[in-house]
Amino acid sequence: MYSSQASAFPSRVIGLISGTSVDGIDAALVEITGTELDLKVELLAGKTYPYPAELRERILAVCAGEAISMLELADMDDVIALAFAQAAQNIQIGYQPANLIGSHGQTVYHRPPKEAGVGKKTLGYTLQLGRGEMIAYLTGITTVSNFRVADIAVGGHGAPLVPRVDAFLLSHPHESRCIQNLGGIGNLAYIPARTDDWLSQIRGWDTGPSNSLLDLAVERLTSGAKTYDEDGKWAASGTPCYSLVEKWLTHEYFHLSPPKSTGRELFGVAYLNQCFQDAEPYQLSPADMLATLTELTVASIVHSYRTFLPQMPQRVFLCGGGSRNLYLKQRLQLALETIPVLTTDEAGVSADFKEAIAFAVLAHWRQLGIPGNLPTATGAPQEVLLGEIHQG
């Protein structure tokens, strides 16, 4: 049980995450007061620390299924932990030191739970590298890590974990909202207006590919000279091929009922190779290909909303790296017609660092003994405490 008195005092926490885009480590230094409905978070500093090119390539190769030895896996775990610890130390420069770190780590493998006969299922499996015990050892700061496994252990997907944080930071008394994260993989939190029993009506799941395919395509089309399409300018100069988008939308994942989760295991290099193969008869230009992949992200999000939400939201707030892709944002606004598409910046939460902020909050909750998962989003049968605590 947590102490409400203790939660009244500010806690200075660092949130760390590297998402499925594998761009680098997002670090957020925040000051947190309150617990849930009274939760307040002030972002003191936020910065992305890019991975060294060699480490990024190694992570992407492992995510794509490249075999490595246990020794290599252990070494990678340590190298990533060192990078996370350095990010935590650097983000504090010029500020009073933090007393807690919440580190999501780097996901290299995620397998959702699956049915294994009548009334039974195989538990999901997830692996995040960058071990929390080393981060705590190197920084001297108590570190909470390995957030997903407790939800998976009771039968949940272990993802998405941010909807509960979104609920208390971004809900509205009279307005239903979708918080749409556009990382490597897209995910949403549907948050109804704060009326009676509103928490039980929140929904969340992974919508499908977002930046993962776009970034891989840019690297492929530029022979590695570029890793992303800045502001979506290249894609904006092309024309989407809607026949291809319709073909790609027949993929089984888009039609699975939530709760559901996915990753590069499904929407990674092999899937992109199939997309390029499907596109060959259409003789698309590079810009057309990027425009078509962008349209897949948009179409999968809108399909998700119209198929699985109890009702369309009154407003959509974007976050994550894709929220800076102006072309993607424009296409989504066009597809959602009269529903305003904004960024979480406009709701008072940094769109660039919202995920890192979320894991700072989850660490704060773990230390106070407050559950962090939302069963309606992860599919777990119950609320559980998330994360393993490593003393500094």
Per-residue pLDDT of the chain (392 residues; tens, 9 = 90+): 444 445 556 799 999 999 888 889 999 999 999 999 999 999 999 999 999 999 999 999 999 889 999 999 999 999 999 999 999 999 999 999 999 999 999 999 999 998 766 667 799 999 999 999 999 999 999 999 999 999 999 999 999 999 999 999 999 999 999 999 999 999 999 999 999 899 999 999 999 999 999 999 999 999 999 999 999 999 999 999 999 999 999 999 999 999 999 998 899 999 999 999 999 999 999 999 999 999 999 999 999 999 999 999 999 999 999 999 999 999 999 999 999 999 999 999 999 999 999 999 999 999 999 999 999 999 999 999 999 999 98
Per the CB < 8 A criterion, the answer to whether 134 and 82 are in contact is: yes
**Angle between helix 286-308 and 326-336 (nearest 10):** 40
pTM: 0.94
Per the CB < 8 A criterion, the answer to whether 141 and 14 are in contact is: yes
Distances (CA, A) of 119 to 114, 122, 151: 11, 11, 19
CB neighbour list of residue 159: distance below 8 Å, 6 or more residues apart:
110, 126, 148, 187, 206, 261, 378
Distances (CA, A) of 277 to 214, 273, 281, 289, 300: 16, 6, 8, 11, 20
Per the CB < 8 A criterion, the answer to whether 186 and 300 are in contact is: yes
CB neighbour list of residue 52: distance below 8 Å, 6 or more residues apart:
none
pLDDT in the model for residue 119: 66
pLDDT in the model for residue 121: 77
Per the CB < 8 A criterion, the answer to whether 279 and 241 are in contact is: yes
3-state secondary structure at position 173 = coil
336-359 confidence digits (pLDDT tens):
999 999 999 999 999 999 999 999
pLDDT in the model for residue 118: 63
Q: Which amino acid is at 365?
A: W
What does the DSSP 8-state code read for residue 104?
Answer: E
pLDDT in the model for residue 223: 95
pLDDT in the model for residue 7: 57
Q: Which amino acid is at 297?
A: T
Burial 345-380 (b: 16+ CB within 10 A, else e): eebebbbbbbbbbbbbbbbbbbbbebbbbbbbbbbb
Report the mean per-residue pLDDT for the chain.
94
Provide φ and ψ at 215, rounded to 5°: -65, -45
Could you tell me which of 363, 253, 323 has the C-alpha nearest to residue 30? 363
Largest CA distance in the chain: 65
Provide φ and ψ at 84, rounded to 5°: -65, -40
